Structure 1
Amino acid sequence: MNVAHFIVPVLLLSVVYAKDEPKFLGTESNVTVVVGRDAILTCKVENLQSYKVAWLRVDTQTILTIGPHVITKNHRVGVSRGDQSWSLTLRDVRPADGGRYMCQINTEPMITQTHHLHVFVPPDIMDSDSSGEVIVREGDNVSLHCAASGTPPPTVLWRREDSAVFKVDKETVSKWSGVWLNMTSVTRDMNGAHLCIATNGVPPSVSKRILLHVLCKPTARLTQKMLGAYIGETVILQCRIEANPPPIVYWTHIDGNKLYNGTKYEMNINSQGYKHTAILRVKNMSRDDIGSYYCYAENSMGTARDDITVYTLATTSTTTTTTEVTTTPEQVTTTPVQAYAELEVKNHEETNHFSDEDSFVVVLSQHQMQNLDLSPSS
């Protein structure tokens, strides 16, 4: 036999044999799926012939499928075959399913292709490791903590629920990033709800409401220092109070005795956070009701008070007259008198601006001032 004739068929057989060997099409893949959804990993094989494709979990060396059969007892695992493709399905993916999966063909030697499954988990805030309600005295430092989990690791953003600014390390900000919110020398206006918001690009973002209670001693301020009213009217006094814990509020008149709700007085208070508005209504004003009223606010941090003076208003008028003088034909007419206000302030022990003989002060009209006899007494 011709040697050349023998070598050529052998070479041709070798080429055909190499061409018919199974091989993978495409490259290794990275598959990302959100927890709870289904994941599909696919490897494509050319010239599989009678060889079999198997899927394995790399980290545990667990055989999941061989050919069209599921080997593992995990009911969430499935396998399907398409045009030159073998797909591994993982239903209802869990965080523990993340990792490397190997597609293997039982050739000699064996050939493999590895695929990576990444399981994304929405953010979650761990209540047990995060701050709850926090109580701090005004002027002290405070640290709030927000522990969040998720894949990829979430970022934490802080802001006030009312969108107000706050101070961090002497810097005034409207928001702050980080798992810790460190505030120095807290003030009463920092009292309220703070939100920590965790996000990692996987919806939904989550937030936790952390209440900060800043304890502060009361301040009290009446909206006016003096108030005039006509006899028979109802007078409304408003006292602005800042205090936390919420204060005990009461009112007193000149004698220092507390006032109580009834036919004469009506008291109520409206609160929003550490700010409070105390209202006193004095009904059917009389001369006995003039004088100073005190608003008191007390809590465990201290006491505060402020006062307002109430006086009565009265209007009087003098009739214009005409006087005839017999010695001349002229008529002499008095100057018209305008209405005036009578300022009456009741004396009391703590404010004695007037002598014991003076019970009120009268503001005279222009006419009365002109006709007042100011000549020195003899």
Structure 2
Amino acid sequence: MHGILIFAAILGGISAKDGPKFVDSGSNVTVVVGRDTTLTCKVDNLNDYKVAWLRVDTQTILTIGPHVITKNHRVGVARGDAQVWALTLRDVRPADGGDYMCQINTEPMITQTHHLQVVVPPDIVDSGSSGEVMVREGENVSIHCAALGTPPPTITWRREDSGVMKIGAESVNKWSGVWLNLSSVVRDMSGALLCIASNGVPPSVSKRIPLRVLCKPSVAMTQKMIGGYLGQSVTLVCRIEAYPTPGVHWTHINVNRIQNGTKYQAIIKSNGYKHTAALKINDVSRDDIGAYQCHAENVLGSAQDDITLYTLATTTITTTLVTTTKATTVVTERTSSTQPYMELETTPDEYEKIVPNEDTYVVVLSQHQMQNLELSPSL
């Protein structure tokens, strides 16, 4: 009450005549940190009395009448009309929160209390939160997110790709709490988790926490057999899942390990734990047929899968037309078509069905020629 007594002494304890009174009741004002705010005290019948503003918790006199008493340069007095005595605060800080008293120096003094709440948007504390997390597939992991703000923020977790998370026996899309306890993590959860802090004061903030699931390789060819034309190129493709990124190489039945060069070109493209490996074989020949294997290996294990290459060739079926007259004229027409054959699987009999004998002749005669044709007895 030290500030209150000083105020009374300064004003000399003037007696009330017409009875000043507060028009409104005390207020509760909420302001976001860093902004300006105003606490309004509206008085009727003030006459010769004085209005003062005090900080209750420190008993500090801030203003008397139109004058600012405190040395705090952020404090001011605003007058909207004769009844209004407003306390203004610029660039509000968290420490400004609390109770403020509007006093009139009547005998006894009359007072009105206003409460100022300073709210602070959420802020995630990096030093108290998890960074990149690595966990072996099938294991459990706990991830922490710490945030500050007024009121205290709530923490919500979700996956960046909006997928499900396994927590105990539950599979959920989001979770609340400063700790996220994941159970039996699988490779499909590789990616990023979002820790979102909110307290009703915009803006909400989030932290991206990468989750790396360590897993041994799995390999699957996109096809089990593939054909290629002789002299052209063909590409073999295999899909790999593994983390860390595996080493990949190819083998052929006649080659222990294929090396990059003009004949073979091996490439790999990675996206997280998913990888696509391709082997391009140039100038395909019959020596290239057979089984190829795609091998993947990292520190957790290895895997492989195979694909069989067969060749495709272009063959020609020839049809000959023969016309016999007194002056013999022979006209030959040839029709070409593409016929595939599987170098590894086609038997000689099947080959004859696919590629007919080129010595087949077809004789075509006109009606006039048929009448003049002398057939031999053998015909």
Deviates more, 1:179-188 or 1:63-72: 63-72
5+ residue gaps in structure 1? 1-16, 323-337, 346-353, 355-359, 370-378
Matched with 1:113 is 112
Inter-partner Cα distance in structure 1 for 2:169 and 2:352: 58
Amino acid at match of 2:147: A
Q: Deviations over 1:85-119 (max 9, x none)?
A: 21110001111111110111222222211000111
User: Aligned pair 1:160/2:159, yes or no?
Assistant: yes
Q: Output the TM-score relative to the length of structure 1.
A: 0.80
Q: Deviations over 1:146-205 (max 9, x none)?
A: 212222222222222222233222322222222222210000010011111222222212
Matched with 1:55 is 53
Matched with 1:37 is 35
- Native 8 Å contact 1:122 1:150 kept in 2: yes
| TM-aligned CA distance change 1:291 to 1:368, over 3 Å | closer
Following superposition of structure 1 onto structure 2, how do residues 17-166 of structure 1 map, counting pairs within 5 Å?
20-81=18-79, 82-166=81-165
Matched with 2:351 is 364
SS at match of 2:207: strand
- Native 8 Å contact 2:197 2:204 kept in 1: yes
SS at match of 2:341: strand
| TM-aligned CA distance change 1:191 to 1:249, over 3 Å | same
Q: Output the TM-score relative to the length of structure 2.
A: 0.80
Inter-partner Cα distance in structure 2 for 1:112 and 1:238: 83
SS at match of 1:96: helix
SS at match of 1:128: helix
Matched with 1:279 is 278
Amino acid at match of 2:351: L
Following superposition of structure 1 onto structure 2, how do residues 154-233 of structure 1 map, counting pairs within 5 Å?
154-233=153-232
| TM-aligned CA distance change 1:304 to 1:168, over 3 Å | same
| TM-aligned CA distance change 1:71 to 1:367, over 3 Å | closer
| TM-aligned CA distance change 1:318 to 1:37, over 3 Å | closer
- Native 8 Å contact 1:339 1:365 kept in 2: no
- Native 8 Å contact 2:339 2:354 kept in 1: no
Inter-partner Cα distance in structure 1 for 2:354 and 2:275: 48
Q: How many Å apart are 1:341 and its aligned residue?
A: 4.0
- Native 8 Å contact 1:188 1:216 kept in 2: yes
Deviates more, 1:169-178 or 1:54-63: 169-178
- Native 8 Å contact 1:104 1:113 kept in 2: yes
- Native 8 Å contact 2:234 2:281 kept in 1: yes
- Native 8 Å contact 2:50 2:105 kept in 1: yes
Q: How many Å apart are 1:23 and its aligned residue?
A: 2.1
SS at match of 1:33: strand
- Native 8 Å contact 1:121 1:150 kept in 2: yes
Inter-partner Cα distance in structure 2 for 1:286 and 1:143: 56
Q: Deviations over 1:261-294 (max 9, x none)?
A: 2110111111111100001000000111111111
What's the Cα RMSD here? Answer: 2.6
| TM-aligned CA distance change 1:257 to 1:367, over 3 Å | closer
Inter-partner Cα distance in structure 2 for 1:367 and 1:291: 22
Inter-partner Cα distance in structure 2 for 1:126 and 1:73: 34
Inter-partner Cα distance in structure 2 for 1:24 and 1:259: 93
Amino acid at match of 1:53: V
SS at match of 2:188: helix
- Native 8 Å contact 1:232 1:285 kept in 2: yes
| TM-aligned CA distance change 1:263 to 1:161, over 3 Å | same
Inter-partner Cα distance in structure 2 for 1:368 and 1:196: 67
Identity of aligned residues (%): 69
SS at match of 1:143: strand
Q: Deviations over 1:110-154 (max 9, x none)?
A: 221100011121111111111110010000111222212222222
SS at match of 1:364: helix
